[in-house]
Structure 1
């Protein structure tokens, strides 16, 4: 179920720390303020509607629910010890976090500034940018800056309408562990993959595809290629579409290739049945 209006589930307490509605005292005793506009809030904790914060003036500031959720997501990453990398298969890989900072400006070689939501540093001092998309995804201008820096960057997509009331546990599960809610905005290895643009299968002497089918599912690009050894399926990032393709490929005995971020299955005769399954 999706909710059209995002209620405000997080606020700053009297110590300036972000707190959830479940951690606050009831009513004005919560001593909380809005992270967006700074106005005093009331903790509404009734028995009918979902618990949420409301502005004492009665005038809710624009996008307070989404903005406070975005801030909570960033804090979850900043205090975590690891975060899952983007992938569609079942073989999850985690990135260990040695240090994390929120909204630290970084200069490009051209003197331009990019401010990632969270910058994490591994134990060997390698940087990774984390972007959280609640209301707005990364625009072209920011992506170009990230590409010029050549720093691995993942974007995590959170739909604020999923929940009427958000809590820390739910955010931690989605932001840190749900591999289908993220994708690489920039990944150094992708440059090599784009240049080669073929799939290598163990035991195969041929990497050239003999047939190709391209389509879109819910406006998400999908590509099927036929090889002498079998079939590969690639798609753009979309949670619903990725799950559909995963189900189809599992039915054909397919396996996820984390290096090339596509599905492969042995048997070139499966090309037409695969295309038919994706078109249904």
Structure 2
């Protein structure tokens, strides 16, 4: 990209746009980057811009001027536009838009404030209203002209757990004044999320939910195995392995334990075949409920066992 015109300089320590100063050296401005004197080129036949008085123009000077001017504009307007935020977790089959593009008011703008081990361009405190509540949420704003946030800085941002956006002005070739600059700063095309704490919390919550489900399934599987082994031991201990369970309810529905024992079609190691103890049947694992007789004056327990004595052929 060709050299872009610098339209901001420092006057008495404050960033100022070229249209607000006098022409030539009378502007009394210096370069925000190198501190050299600037000449204000203003006229009807030229695009207004600053040039160094005694040195060649370099891109880093333009970048520093844009950085300072951007920070000043955030402090002036006290608002920021946040882009759409989508979350896609293919492993969990989760895809959702959790934040719509929207402007937020800023309560405070902190410039060049250190956060433990790094210094963001801007640390803003934005006002978020949700469900009748007003919260102040920190937001890191990075301005990228020629240098973008690298991997190491991104890791530091993630470690801070503070949401961050990056505004790219790399491809903006014509910024003539503060209005042009503010338009590009608010242009959704130039804004992207670097990190969002809400997204990270949501992802962690989803992952923890999946893990909990998997752990519960594994626990149930283990308990089922234990239960199955204990059940086999119980049957063996009580002699129930001599019996065969009905495969379907239709094979025993309407038939009472009384009738089975009376006809000799059932063998129960706990019962006397001539005298039935109902309490034993009520506690039995294979009690399938009560059967009401035709006179509806008493109930009989439906038995889920079928005679399987080795010396009996059905």
Give aligned pairs, total. 187
Map of 2:22 onto structure 1: 25
Matched, 1:172 2:182: yes
Matched position secondary structure for 1:97? strand
TM-score, structure 1 normalization: 0.61
Q: Quick one: structure 1 residues 87 and 125, their matched pair in 2 at CA, closer, same or farther if it must change by over 3 Å? A: closer
Is the counterpart of residue 156 in structure 1 residue 167 in structure 2? yes
Normalised by the size of structure 2, how large is the TM-score? 0.55
1:105-254 equivalent positions in 2, closer than 5 A: 105-107=114-116, 113-122=117-126, 124-159=135-170, 161-163=172-174, 165-175=175-185, 177-192=186-201, 194=203
Whether the aligned pair in 2 keeps the contact of 1:6 and 1:160 (CA below 8 Å) is no
**Structure 1 segments unaligned to the other structure (5+ residues):** 108-112, 198-280
Secondary structure at the aligned position of 1:126 is classed as strand
* C-alpha RMSD of the superposition: 2.4
SS in 2 for 1:151: coil
The question of 1:103 aligning with 2:83 is answered no
Query: Does the CA contact (< 8 Å) of 1:78 and 1:118 recur in 2?
Result: no
Q: CA offset at residue 39 of structure 1? A: 1.1
Confirm or deny: 8 A CA contact 1:9 1:53 kept in the other structure: yes
Stretches of structure 2 that go unaligned for 5 or more consecutive residues are 86-96, 128-134, 208-314
Highest RCO, 1 vs 2 (Cα 8 Å, sep ≥ 6): 1
Q: What is the deviation of 1:148?
A: 0.5
Residue in structure 2 matched with residue 7 of structure 1 by the alignment: 5
Note if contact 1:4-1:161 (Cα within 8 Å) is conserved in structure 2.
no
